[in-house]
Copies of this chain bind each other. A is one copy, B any other.
Amino acid sequence: MELYNYFRSSASWRVRIALALKGLQYDYKPVHLRRNEQFQESYAAVSAARLVPLLRDGDAVITQSMAIIEYLDETHPEPPLLPADPVGRARVRSLAYDVACEVHPLNNLRVLRFLVHDLKLSEDDKNRWYRHWVETGLETVERQLAAQPSTFCHGESPTLADCVLVPQVMNAQRFDCRLEHVPNVRRVFDACLQLPAFADTQPSRCPDAEA
């Protein structure tokens, strides 16, 4: 398998975690988003959205981090990244989407670029925007973790929800977002970072990492 990704893309990191949890080997293919390599012809020809991550598995080309993780879970079921019962699966997906659909889309590189370059938002307003969605989004996750606490987001082993939450929390730290109000989120984050699948795949340890 080949994973096209960028060290700082949190959607890319989600997939690196899932691959590591399943013990799957892959070739790391860097795509430098800040240098706009995603728009180069060779990459744009395979990636309809000109985004990372993208997984090549034989003839299959799969985009969108959560579609990739669900695919990996279906084709390599052990260890499972979703619980067995439908209500548990729904809870895990819902927690993942609370980050992947309500927080991350508002704060990724191309959106911040549009706010600053096209809509001429000030750096202060951009940061206010960023923190607002992170802080309110993580509060949503916190309420659910507090209502049904466990070592990881759902139960005693990592799931899709942890793959999505951990990169978002690391971004929150990088942008000085408030995290005092989300103690369960921080607790789960710390538990995950104890595991090599999370720690060894973090941005700073990627082949294309920059200071």
Contact = CB atoms under 8 A, between A and B. Distances in A.
Interface of A: 48-51, 60, 62-64, 66-68, 70-71, 74-75, 86-87, 89-91, 93-94, 97-98, 100-102, 104-106, 111, 114, 118-119, 121, 125, 128-129, 132, 140-141, 143-144, 147
Contacts of A98: 48-49, 63-64
A90 B68 contact: yes
Nearest to A49: B140
Counting from the closest, the 9 A-B pairs by CB-CB distance are A105-B105, A67-B93, A67-B94, A64-B97, A48-B143, A71-B90, A64-B94, A49-B140, A74-B86
Q: Oligomeric state, in number of copies?
A: 2
A102 B109 CA distance: 12
Contacts of A66: 93, 97, 101
Given A102-B105, A114-B132, A119-B121, A64 B49 contact: no
Given A49-B98, A118-B128, 14 more contacts: A48-B147, A60-B90, A62-B91, A63-B98, A64-B93, A64-B94, A66-B97, A67-B91, A70-B93, A71-B90, A97-B100, A101-B104, A105-B105, A119-B129
Contacts of A118: 128, 132
B70 A144 contact: no
A121 B49 CA distance: 27
B119 A125 contact: yes
A107 to B, nearest CB: 10
19 contacts: A48-B140, A49-B102, A50-B140, A60-B87, A62-B91, A63-B98, A64-B94, A64-B97, A64-B101, A66-B93, A66-B97, A67-B97, A70-B93, A97-B100, A101-B101, A106-B106, A118-B132, A119-B128, A119-B129
B71 A89 contact: yes
